[in-house]
Amino acid sequence: MNRPTTQARRAVMLSQPLRVLAGAVALAITAGISRAAPAADAAATAEIPFTDAQITAIGVTFESPTSAAEAGSMRFPARVLVPPTAERAVISPLAATVETVRVNAGDSVRAGQPLATLFSADLSGLKSTYAQMRAAERLAKADLDRDAELHTDGIIAARRLQESRSRHEVAAAQLAESRQRLRLAGVSERDLARGGDAAMASSMTLRAPQDGVVLMQAAAVGERVEAGALLFRIARLDHLWLDVQVPVEAANRMKAGDRLGLRDAPAATVRVLSVGRDAGAGTQSVQVRAAIETGADALRPGQFVEVLLKAGGLAGWSVPDAAVVRSSRASHVFVRSATGFRAVPVTVAGRSGPRTIVEGALTAADRVAVTGIIAIKGAWSGHGGGE
């Protein structure tokens, strides 16, 4: 059996007093806090015992809550969006190869302006079918006109005239269907007026469906695209929307028609369109939809901005951001009490600059801890709070 060396025995002998000393220090700290106030039911009473000396040692500073009405504007994050009715997609109607691209992302375009030219072998088939349907309709129309004259002269029966009329109606419907397929493929009315025969070039021109700005351009010269491929997105940017994330408590006081401000565009006018009914599971915030009615020129779709809401119409208190302690269950602030601190549960309603708007059992006379929060929270957690 291997015996411990002299050096190893000496290390063991030295480590035992150190462990005893560490335990004594921990016991003394616990005893010091316990002597400051009983901790039997600290978690239930939300009291956190601290002596004046301990408060001074951890460097706690205090500030009294101020009325939310005096806090100026509350700020909420928002994202700039294009209204669905203001955006149009331009897709490839047929499988094709991109021949030319005439616009880039960010360009302003007018309705009907050419965007790109595509070559498609399928287009020749459509034009050939259209030429056949056009000839068939003309023949059916001539037969119908002839039979109408013969029926008027009493040479043919009414049944034969009805058969001619039916054949013409079928031919006219087939021609209209073939014509619509060509229109969807980008063939212009001028080309259709020329007859749309198979001799026409197998190219189609995609045109802007409305005035606006090209938000997305995915067409590349020489690229093969499938039918239905999205090549351009064009939007009118004179009016934009905002998706605003608002805490539930603040959203409960908002309604359609309320006016908001924009920190990034002070001259803009913003009106609330709707207040969502669903609170996000992770954020507990409500989506508020707002319209930027004027002053949208300085903003871009997808941009993140801050929306301002006057806090005068909201109840609650304004405290420094650092004073609010958030846990998995709730938010709290630490208020000075006779025995140390009291953990007061609060509900966060929004932000106003470097301050947070909260609702809870606070008064203007309370002294809320602003610094030394980590030490206070550590002691609170040791008594079963702040989980």
Q: What is the model's pTM? A: 0.54
Contact, 35 vs 54, CB < 8 A?
no
CATH architecture, range 37-72+316-382: Beta Barrel (2.40)
Domain pair 94-120+202-235 / 121-200, same fold: no
Cβ atoms of residues 118 and 97 within 8 Å: yes
Q: Sign of the CA dihedral 17, 19, 22, 26?
A: negative
CB-based contact 171:133 (threshold 8 Å): yes
Tens-digit pLDDT string for the chain (387 aa) = 444 444 444 444 434 443 433 333 333 333 344 343 333 333 434 789 999 999 999 999 999 998 776 666 678 899 999 999 999 999 998 889 999 999 999 999 999 999 999 988 888 788 888 888 989 999 999 999 999 999 898 898 999 999 999 999 999 999 999 888 888 776 767 767 665 444 456 788 899 999 999 999 998 999 999 989 999 999 999 889 999 998 887 888 788 998 888 888 888 889 999 999 888 766 778 999 999 988 888 888 999 998 887 655 556 788 999 999 987 678 899 999 999 999 999 988 777 768 888 888 898 899 999 999 999 999 988 765 655
Does domain 94-120+202-235 fall under CATH 2.40.50.100? My reply is: yes
The CB density around residue 146, as the number of other CB atoms within 10 Å, is 13
Instruction: Parse the chain into domains and list their residue ranges.
Output: 37-72+316-382, 73-84+237-313, 94-120+202-235, 121-200
In angstroms, rounded to a whole number, what is the distance separating the alpha carbons of residues 269 and 240? 11
Closest of 250, 277, 244, 255 to residue 349, by C-alpha:
250
Would you tell me how many other CB atoms lie within 10 Å of the CB of residue 286? Answer: 21
- In CATH, the number for domain 73-84+237-313 is 2.40.30.170
> The tokens of 202 are what?
């197998």
The answer to whether 36 touches 340, Cβ cutoff 8 Å, is yes
